[in-house]
Structure 1
């Protein structure tokens, strides 16, 4: 496993991906990149969108990055 502080989990069977922070727990269920950036904004990261493609910040687990539909 990586050491990125933000984890976007695999798509759920009904769609959406859980988003967690290693030290802070569950942020929510995202259905888009906009949802992820809003969760991160609420957690204190004002300009989080550029971080979504930075593996030092975000670890995308299971499935392709930026894909929220069930497989």
Structure 2
């Protein structure tokens, strides 16, 4: 009797642990996390490209302005 109740309680604990783990729920979460990381990475790359284009534009404009001032001062 005692061993039977101990065995059933052990089985119950094991079943509750397995239901808490539920491996099938973990895979979509990791896939969703990968998708979120990928979209975040793509957004970061796009923002970096926009930032570098704006920076290049302002550098180009400052160099052009410097040349214009230099040629005006030659006259």
TM-score (norm 2): 0.17
Q: By percentage of residues, which structure has more helix?
A: 2
Bigger Rg over Cα: 2
Q: By percentage of residues, which structure has more strand?
A: 1
Which structure has more relative contact order (CA 8 Å, sep 6+)? It is: 1
